[in-house]
Amino acid sequence: MAFFSCKPNALPLIGCTLGFGTLLSAQIIARVGYDYVLIDMEHNPLSARESGLMAHVVIAASAGRCKSLIRIPSHGVEWIKWALDCGSHGILVPMVKNRNEMNAIVQSARYPPVGQRSFGPTMAAFADLDIDATNAKYFKETSNDVAVIPMIESIEGVENAEAICSVEGVTAVFIGPVDLRLSMGLPGGDGDEQIFLQALQKVLEICRALGRPVGTFASNGEGCRKRTVEGFDFILVPGEVALLAAGAQASLADCTKG
Ligand code: 3PY
Ligand code: MG
């Protein structure tokens, strides 16, 4: 089933970042009720050697009825191939700044005639019961539903948002608020500065006009509700690492209070 059809009438989709690369943790998170998990190969020490692990985490999440996106660490064709061939429902591609970069990503991620993705979705057949990678169905249908999601997270990316988002083969767009704010000289992941809010609004409007869903990150419930009211379609909320730290701190505080 396509990533954006998993909760058609009740957007936004809510997702949790997986950073440990461990199956047990993925299984626990996938059963909590999140709509999707984001396997983060960008900001966690999960190297190319561990790329096979992505496939197993996708399978673990899928058994919990969770969709899986993989955030790859670069625009490299090898990462795009590994992440899609293992049966994930889509890729998040960081730091996309212009149309040329987006065109190259789509070339790697889409089969002909749109792109030049090479055929070999070896693990996809095991990742999701709805995927049948062994016959023409994956090539003809499923692969078209795989989500290709550029991250807009710089001033330059916002300036070129229309050119990036309108490339054929782009499914949705994700705004990385922390890096976007850094590029604006602003701290943290949220704030009321006009330059930041106008950038969010601009990307939302462009994507509305193009019919592309827009996602972003929120570090807590208040931020999540704010972004929901603004019209974001999928939101990433605190992930595995933050949840473990918060749970451990709360438990220790509870067990040591007088
Ligand atoms: C950012 O905010 O820069 C992100 O990459 C969010 O995941
Ligand atoms: Mg970022």
Residue located nearest, by CA, to atom 7 of ligand 1: 176
Contact partners, residue 125, CB within 8 Å, separation at least 6: 87, 131, 132, 133, 134, 138
166 within 8 A of 155, measured Cβ to Cβ: no
Average pLDDT, the chain: 90
Omega before 12 cis (within 30°)?
yes
Tally of domains within the chain: 1
| pLDDT over 90 (residue 248) | yes
* Distances 176 to 137, 180, 215, 231, 235 between C-alpha atoms, Å: 33, 6, 9, 16, 11
Which residues lie with the beta carbon below 6 Å from any ligand 1 atom?
153, 176-179, 189, 217, 236
| pLDDT over 70 (residue 39) | yes
| pLDDT over 90 (residue 65) | no
* Ligand 1 centroid, distance to 151 Cα (angstroms): 8
Instruction: Say how many C-beta atoms besides its own lie within 10 A of residue 11's C-beta.
Output: 16
Q: Is residue 194 part of a domain?
A: yes
Higher pLDDT, 10 or 176: 176
pLDDT of residue 98: 98
Q: Is residue 158 part of a domain?
A: yes
pLDDT of residue 4: 84
Q: Is residue 3 part of a domain?
A: no
* Distances 198 to 71, 142, 175, 201, 230 between C-alpha atoms, Å: 26, 36, 13, 5, 12
Q: Is residue 149 part of a domain?
A: yes
pLDDT of residue 138: 79
Q: Is residue 2 part of a domain?
A: no
Work out the pLDDT band at 6, boundaries 50, 70, 90.
Answer: low
Closest atom of ligand 1 to 217 CA is 6
pLDDT of residue 126: 72
* Ligand 2 centroid, distance to 175 Cα (angstroms): 8
pLDDT of residue 115: 96
Cα 234 to chain centroid, rounded: 9
Residue located nearest, by CA, to atom 4 of ligand 1: 176
Ligand nearest to the backbone CA of 189 = 1
CATH of the domain at 228: 3.20.20.60
Q: Which residues pair with 149 in a beta bridge?
A: 92
**Protein residues within 5 Å, CB atom, of ion ligand 2:** 153, 176, 179
Task: Tell me how far apart the alpha carbons of residues 83 and 194 are, in angstroms, rounded to a whole number.
Answer: 36
* Ligand 1 centroid, distance to 65 Cα (angstroms): 25
Predicted-complex ipTM score:
0.99
Report the chain's C-alpha Rg in angstroms: 18
Domain that holds residue 45: 8-256
Between strands 214-217 and 234-237, the pairing is: parallel
- pLDDT tens per residue, range 147-197: 999 999 999 999 999 999 999 999 999 999 999 999 999 999 999 999 999
* Ligand 2 centroid, distance to 109 Cα (angstroms): 21
Closest atom of ligand 1 to 153 CA is 3
Q: Is residue 237 part of a domain?
A: yes
207 within 8 A of 158, measured Cβ to Cβ: no
pLDDT of residue 104: 98
* Ligand 1 centroid, distance to 177 Cα (angstroms): 6
Closest atom of ligand 1 to 42 CA is 5
Q: Is residue 1 part of a domain?
A: no
Work out the pLDDT band at 52, boundaries 50, 70, 90.
Answer: low
Q: Is residue 52 part of a domain?
A: yes
Work out the pLDDT band at 51, boundaries 50, 70, 90.
Answer: low
Best probe residue, ligand 1, of 179, 181, 190 (max atoms within 8 Å of C-beta):
179
- Tell me phi and psi for residue 88, to 5 degrees: -70, 160
pLDDT of residue 69: 94
| pLDDT over 80 (residue 8) | no
- pLDDT tens per residue, range 99-144: 999 999 999 999 999 999 999 887 777 776 565 656 677 788 888 8
User: For residue 181, what is the enclosing H or E element?
Assistant: helix 177-183
pLDDT of residue 92: 98
